[in-house]
Amino acid sequence: MTVRFSGGGFVDDDVEAYTYELLPPRDDVVSEMEQQAIERSIPIIGPAVARVLQQYALAINARRVFEMGSAIGYSTIWLARAVGPVGRVYYTDGGEKNAAEARGYFERAGILDRIEILVGDSIDLIDSVEGEFDLIFNDVDKHQYPAAFRKAAPRIRKGGLFITDNVLWGGRVARGDSDADTEGVREFNRLIYSSREMYSSILPIRDGLAVCLKL
């Protein structure tokens, strides 16, 4: 079965389907999470974006990763596999139930020992973890994106990455929508491109992925 996690419709449907069909099959745990996400409408990044995220983490040899907005831990698993057995990924989410479900998946995937599970507001929780990060992945509520950027940017090492999902927000950022989430993403996009400490670009994959390199 072809599992699709399309977002913005920025790529032709048939082309997007083709790129998803090319993806190698995932293991049982990750496949089950994808199925759960479809059945329960959990907004995970899906396998195409997850692969990009993991690729960037591997490219910079990331060992310390902080994640903002982890839900059932799908993106966390891809990051945890990238950091390897000596790495550390900080899972953060506001929901106790999400965290409990995620823990079960991490255990079954054999990577629980490299993940720290923190429950609460990701934007506050980052203060409770000392040190710099090689990579921070941001996927919190969209109106919080500017706050997430301001908090996360100083915590990334030079040469590290700040990656954010949904920065095209179904195209609403480019149109007249003015709800809090759309305004949040718009402000975020202005921030990342005007920042002197980040070299940023937006990949129009699925719902838009921002990749910011710390200078």
Ligand X SMILES: C[S@@+](CC[C@H](N)C(=O)[O-])C[C@H]1O[C@@H](n2cnc3c(N)ncnc32)[C@H](O)[C@@H]1O
Residues near 16 by beta carbon (within 8 Å), at least 6 away in sequence: 4, 6
* Minimum gap (Å) between residue 153 Cβ and ligand X: 16
Q: Which is nearer to ligand X, 180 or 215 (CB)?
A: 180
Q: Which is nearer to ligand X, 51 or 199 (CB)?
A: 51
The two tokens of residue 131 are 């040190």
The β-bridge relationship of strands 156-165 and 209-214 is antiparallel
Q: Which is nearer to ligand X, 58 or 215 (CB)?
A: 58
The one-character DSSP state at 114 is G
* Minimum gap (Å) between residue 149 Cβ and ligand X: 13
Q: Which is nearer to ligand X, 164 or 189 (CB)?
A: 164
* Minimum gap (Å) between residue 46 Cβ and ligand X: 8
Q: Specify whether the CB–CB gap between 52 and 82 falls below 8 A.
A: no
Which residues in this chain contact ligand X in the complex, by CB under 6 A?
Answer: 43-45, 69-71, 74-75, 92-95, 98, 121-123, 139-141, 144
* Minimum gap (Å) between residue 116 Cβ and ligand X: 14
